[in-house]
Structure 1
Amino acid sequence: MSAPATTPVALPARATALVDALRADAATWESTGVPDGVIADLAAAGLLGADIPTAHGGSGADPAGFGEVCARVGRVCGSLRALLTVQGMVAAAVLRWGDADQRARWLPALAAGDAVAGFAATEAGAGTDLSAVATRVGAVSGDVAVSGHKRWITFGERADVFLVLGTGTGGHTAVLVEADRAGVSRTPVSGQLGLRGARLADVRFDAVRVPAANVLAAPGFGLSHVAAVALDHGRHSVAWGCAGLAEACVDEAAAHAATRVQGDTALAEHQLVRAALGRMAVDAAAARGLCERAARLRACGDPGSVVAAIAAKHGASRAAATVAREAVRLLGAAGCAPGSAVGRHARDAAVFEIIEGSAHVAELHVGDDLLARHGFRAGRRP
């Protein structure tokens, strides 16, 4: 089964229509997780394979179209947007580094929602530095055996297939591991600060055997090529989702200030409130601008698109965290109440500053790129 063909222009409107219908339920997902039925709804709307090419069953959205989908879903639920992110990360890796058989097997299934993906990279000793992964991938009688313990895997509780990053005699290796294979076990994670609806899990691979045909690219290219493509796609998606989250918080805070009366005075009459709203609006607009620039560079294949995505993810996640916190302050008790959208956004935004590259690491990448363009190389005297 393939996802219905849609045009990139129609996708953002489809995303808006879907999340508007689901908006009232989003708060409940913090305790239940995003339901399987909602995942199916995303697939049926052509959103789960939004930027998978139409030739492979997807909707074929360009970077800006896909980004706008993430922004509109991110306005309502960060966990739901995280599903688009991880699905897209694995699909991007398969599209770029998979062979014809791997693309034919996995891309239509990912687009149709017949397979939900998990990106199994992080470990207890390998978060920011994925080169330190301890998971072992080795050849066994014509197959590949995978052994390791992955942590904090988004939709790991639900995933049908994992893109696993490990290491072996040939170096870092990326391999697709079906969740129903013997030796795969998962432990749901709950109670975390944010992304409470994203069905996180710790996943163990105990000498799991898969066909050698499940390996993406050659051993030694798992981190530098396969995971790098996935992470680049993830930053693009997270950045746009954060821009949408910031815009949603601005709208909710402004609506509250315009209608809330304390004593005989409307909240919006206070200069400090209006100034805060102005700062929030500027931060949200700046986040969107960074995302749009990254999408333009990505669309034309500009080599600078990778650093642009890092900058967009860093700037947008920082804006989302700042704007969401300010929105909670302006809403007061309403912003802290159970089920509050801005309260949920504030918790999620704190996580978004960490995933797919922490703020400090992002700043180093952007700074190093800037210096390189001015001729500086570390360890070399000017």
Structure 2
Amino acid sequence: MSMRPQTHPTALFAVDGLLTEEERDIRQAVRRLCADQVRPNLARWFEEGRLPAHELAREFGALGLLGMHLEGYGCAGLGAVSYGLACLELEAADSGVRSLVSVQGSLAMYAIWRYGSEEQKKEWLPAMAAGESIGCFGLTEPDFGSDPAGMRTRARRDGDDWVLDGTKMWITNGSIADIAVVWAQTDEGIRGFLVPAGTPGFTANDIEGKLSLRASVTSELVLDGVRLPGSALLPGARGLGGPLGCLNEARFGIIFGVLGAALDCLETTISYASDREIFARPLASFQLTQQKLADMVLELGKGLLLAVHLGRLKEAGSLTSDQVSVGKLNNVREALDIARTCRTVLGANGVTLEYPVIRHAANLESVLTYEGTSEIHTLVIGRALTGHSAFA
């Protein structure tokens, strides 16, 4: 049987030619860090349902990954594509690891950087960029995920203070966070508050029994008469546009990140199919296997080209929220389909933690839902196309 050298999936689309040398160097640095510090432990962390978040945060902070797309206050101030490629390499390791970085930089840090006072920025951002302090982002509630405007968490004025009551759910980094960005209804509309860990009345409880994002800390936040000084208010955020602006930042990282999970599945599957013999020939030599691989690589490549294009738009300051929805909907959906199809090529081996495929597939089920479900992004695109909103 004739053989020729194998081509890497991304080489078919010449993606590296679209990147600067600095962007390629950043990608390689994150890849090395994950290879040395993360990948050897992932199967165990996933099986045990834990993540050494503080240790990893300090490693990521030392490399400049936390809030890397923000300017000043100890942040690296790098471009959107560099940030996206870092997310890709992190999620090629595990979605939970990318979520740690994404929530820290694009939700908690971005909220303070974009909407905070100068005092809040100086107090929190340098420590968060270094990984010395961890943040979380409290928006979703038990009954209000896709409809955050209906949140029941309430903040009322009491003299110069604010008093918060309510519950937040599915909060990444919640129980390990040093600072929580919490969104609440007020008489002035939705406002954001900085709630330090240990504030009386504020508790964070881990959510147990997850079968997805197991190598990630997910929590419930409970606020029972939490009293905060007036200086805890994020002065620049008024209305739902504040938290939605943060979510748009995080969704951008997902557009790149999920392609890392898909690529890791594909690389694993091509290697497996090349070594696995069936009917006295490599599994990779069968037409049906090659059709699966070709179809998956096409979707991966199109997703990468879309991600880089959206990154360049973001760097130019012209990226819209509708375009972010296009990227999030397409790339998460296709990455999940790639993971599922790779599992079929691995057969029974595909459901064990010896290979990363089922772990990626399980994680991507969560990514499909969080920071805007596929249904919500579909309706956002539909509204853009027709001018009619299908939301209630």
| CA deviation profile, 1:178-228 (whole Å, cap 9, x unmatched) | 112111112111222311111111110111112211211367x1422x201
Structure-2 residue corresponding to 1:301: 317
Specify every segment of 5 or more residues in structure 2 that has no aligned partner in the other structure, as ranges.
Answer: 1-21
Would the aligned equivalents of 1:184 and 1:206 in 2 still touch at CA under 8 Å? yes
Structure-1 residue corresponding to 2:235: 217
Structure-2 residue corresponding to 1:337: 352
Moved more, 363-372 or 251-260: 363-372
Q: Paired residue for 1:265, among 256, 281, 287?
A: 281
| CA deviation profile, 1:39-93 (whole Å, cap 9, x unmatched) | 221111111232222x210111111000000001110111000011101212222
Structure-2 residue corresponding to 1:177: 195
CA-CA distance at 1:339 after TM superposition:
4.4
Task: Note if 1:34 corresponds to 2:51.
Answer: yes
Matching residue's letter, 1:308? Q
Structure-1 residue corresponding to 2:375: 360
Q: Paired residue for 2:328, among 313, 319, 325?
A: 313
TM-score of the superposed pair, with normalisation by structure 2: 0.89
Cα distance in 2 for partners of 1:11, 1:137 equals 42
Cα distance in 1 for partners of 2:339, 2:386 equals 33
Task: Note if 1:167 corresponds to 2:185.
Answer: yes
- Deviating above 3 A after TM superposition, structure 1's stretches of 4 or more consecutive aligned residues are 7-10
Cα distance in 1 for partners of 2:88, 2:129 equals 19
Cα distance in 2 for partners of 1:208, 1:199 equals 23
Written as runs of structure 1 = structure 2, the 5 A alignment for 1:27-66 is: 27-30=43-46, 31-35=48-52, 36-53=54-71, 55-66=72-83
| CA deviation profile, 1:287-346 (whole Å, cap 9, x unmatched) | 2122112211111111x4321111111111001110000111111121101343111000
Structure-2 residue corresponding to 1:11: 26
TM-score of the superposed pair, with normalisation by structure 1: 0.92
Would the aligned equivalents of 1:52 and 1:107 in 2 still touch at CA under 8 Å? no
Task: Note if 1:198 corresponds to 2:216.
Answer: yes
Matching residue's letter, 1:240? F
Would the aligned equivalents of 1:46 and 1:58 in 2 still touch at CA under 8 Å? yes
Written as runs of structure 1 = structure 2, the 5 A alignment for 1:120-159 is: 120-159=138-177
Cα distance in 1 for partners of 2:120, 2:25 equals 29
- CA gap 1:128/1:20 in 2 versus in 1, 3 angstroms: same
In percent, how many aligned pairs have the same letter?
Answer: 27
Task: Note if 1:71 corresponds to 2:88.
Answer: yes
- CA gap 1:218/1:19 in 2 versus in 1, 3 angstroms: closer
CA-CA distance at 1:244 after TM superposition:
1.0
CA-CA distance at 1:141 after TM superposition:
2.3
Cα distance in 1 for partners of 2:376, 2:156 equals 31
Task: Note if 1:275 corresponds to 2:329.
Answer: no
Matching residue's letter, 1:67? G
Structure-1 residue corresponding to 2:15: none
Q: How many residues align?
A: 365
- CA gap 1:288/1:9 in 2 versus in 1, 3 angstroms: closer
Specify every segment of 5 or more residues in structure 1 that has no aligned partner in the other structure, as ranges.
Answer: 1-6
Would the aligned equivalents of 1:92 and 1:229 in 2 still touch at CA under 8 Å? no
CA-CA distance at 1:268 after TM superposition:
1.1
CA-CA distance at 1:100 after TM superposition:
1.6
Would the aligned equivalents of 2:157 and 2:163 in 1 still touch at CA under 8 Å? yes
Cα distance in 2 for partners of 1:294, 1:93 equals 22
SS of aligned partner of 1:157? helix
Structure-1 residue corresponding to 2:250: 234
Query: What do you get for the CA RMSD once the two structures are aligned?
Result: 1.7
Cα distance in 1 for partners of 2:43, 2:350 equals 13
| CA deviation profile, 1:95-135 (whole Å, cap 9, x unmatched) | 22122222212221210112211111111111011001100
Cα distance in 2 for partners of 1:123, 1:269 equals 50
Cα distance in 1 for partners of 2:345, 2:337 equals 13
Cα distance in 2 for partners of 1:353, 1:217 equals 32
Matching residue's letter, 1:359? S
Task: Note if 1:107 corresponds to 2:125.
Answer: yes
- CA gap 1:251/1:189 in 2 versus in 1, 3 angstroms: same
Matching residue's letter, 2:87? C
